[in-house]
Amino acid sequence: MKKEIHPKYYNDCKVTCACGNAFVTGSTMPEIRTELCNKCHPFYTGKQKFVDTARRVEKFQEKATRVAKTAAVRKGKKVKKATAAAKKAKKVEKAEA
């Protein structure tokens, strides 16, 4: 190996997670901070957890609620046709009775 071209290797690199979990491993960095580890990652825990650093999940949920509200106010062609058909069927039933 050539001298002075490789980074320094630390055998006692401390890795700290946002959940508080910490462990020691080897790395070229003396300290590493992470957002997820095996104690809090959804794949290992089985619990759903949103990792949202850019507020994307909240933006999507806000947009979905807005769309749902406007869809409830507006009636589409299919909904209008279905209500008209139901009214027509009621009229036919009344006429037959």
Which residue ranges make up the annotated binding site for Zn(2+)?
17, 19, 37, 40
3-state SS, the chain, equals: CCCCCCCCCEEEEEEEECCCCEEEEEECCCEEEECCCCCCCHHHHCCCCCCCCCCHHHHHHHHHHHHHHHHHHCCCHHHHHHHHHHHHHHHHHHHHC
